[in-house]
Amino acid sequence: MNKTSLGTGALYGITAYLLWGILPLYWKLLSALNPFHILAFRIIFSLFLVGTILIIQKNFNWLNFFKDKRDGLLIILAALIISFNWGLYIWAVNDGHTIEAAMGYYINPLISVVLGLCVFREKINRLQAISFSLAVIGVLIQIVFTGSPPWISIGLALSFGVYGLLKKTIKLSALESLGSETLAASPISLLLLAGIFSMNGKFPNPEELLYLRDLPVITLAVLSICGIVTALPLFLFAKSVKILPLSTVGFMQFLAPTLTFLTGVFAFHETFTYHSLIVFGFIWAAVIIYIVSLKK
């Protein structure tokens, strides 16, 4: 593979991870909205955008997959898990837990390694075992300092790890997969917009959406592009992995949580104590060792 192709692949990958890394800035612009409604609109607008692109391309594979019972169930399960992941991430950012969300995506690759070992019997080398152990120690220290596990980090890491596991068994392109998953998740979005988690227990409760009328036009305009915000980095990532070695992609994936962490500390001014520094010290050490293991 020539240097030009590698350079193009690197540009795609780095851009994708940079966009994912600064995503908290985008969700923060929508903090006036109910997180459940943000998630619902993200699903709907992503489905509309990706579905339109695929139909224009006369690509209907993403619809045919539901004809197979096993594949259809896998897609539905993937849709449920990624919806949970998206919702948790949006809530975490807008509720002041961006740093903890970053931790989740730092340890996610390590979770994926262990899931691969358990499910697909993939081999794990010594450095990766050490890396995972350091991450576990970091989580345990967090429990000692705070008295409870970092549930947001664990929830994001596990959900995305299991999602990645399912994606290995679903033979669709990135856009096809996103189209089928958002289609499967569309009933969830409708339930969320209908007020299934209504505070007064009323369902359906369309009155919960009335506050949208009072939002600034700029906020609604920002909301309208959430489909593009979701699909663009995924498309760039898919282009990247077709060109670059997986070890290179594995290295670049830590750009996103690093930017998310920096955003939480410097843009959102979230609290970062000495205790947090110790915990992240173990997590960062685990990440460095993991990156080294990819070169072995």
Taking residues 98-106, what's their average pLDDT?
95
Report which of residues 3 and 86 the model is more confident about. Answer: 86
Are 186 and 91 within 8 A, CB to CB?
A: no
The residue count of the chain comes to 296
Residues 6+ apart with CB under 8 A from 194: 203, 204, 205, 206
Assess contact for 227 and 45: CB atoms under 8 A: yes
The mean per-residue pLDDT over the stretch 219-225 comes to 97
Angle between helices 274-294 and 126-146 (to 10 degrees): 170
Please compute the mean of the pLDDT values over residues 91-107 and round it to a whole number.
96
How far is it, in rounded angstroms, from Cα 106 to Cα 289?
12
Q: What is the average per-residue pLDDT within 214-242?
A: 93
pLDDT given for residue 255 in this prediction: 93
User: 């670049």: which residue's tokens?
Assistant: 252
In angstroms, rounded to a whole number, what is the distance separating the alpha carbons of residues 228 and 226?
Answer: 5
**What is the rounded end-to-end Cα distance, in angstroms, of the chain?**
21
Q: Which of 219-228, 242-251, 274-283 has the lowest mean pLDDT?
A: 242-251
Would you list the DSSP string of 21-38? HTHHHHHHTTTTS-HHHH
Mean pLDDT in residue range 93-104: 96
Q: Is the peptide bond before 204 cis (omega within 30 degrees of 0)?
A: yes
Summarize the confidence of residues 69-83 as an average pLDDT: 93
Distance from C-alpha of 162 to C-alpha of 148, rounded to nearest angstrom: 23
The whole domain housing 62 covers 3-294
Mean pLDDT across 17-40 = 96
Separation CA 187–CA 206 (nearest Å): 16
Q: Which residue has the tokens 């994926």?
A: 112
Flag the least confident range among 131-145, 153-167, 246-260.
Answer: 246-260
Q: What is the pTM of this model?
A: 0.93
**pLDDT classification of 139: cutoffs 50, 70, 90:** very high
Percent of the chain having pLDDT more than 70?
A: 97
Number of domains in the chain: 1
Q: How far apart are CA 283 and CA 57, in angstroms?
A: 43
> For residue 234, what are its two tokens?
């995924």
pLDDT in tens, 170-197: 888 888 999 999 999 999 999 999 988 8
Q: What is the mean pLDDT of residues 232-250?
A: 82
For the chain, the average pLDDT equals 90
What pLDDT is attached to residue 251?
A: 80
For residue 59, give both structure tokens.
Answer: 């690509």
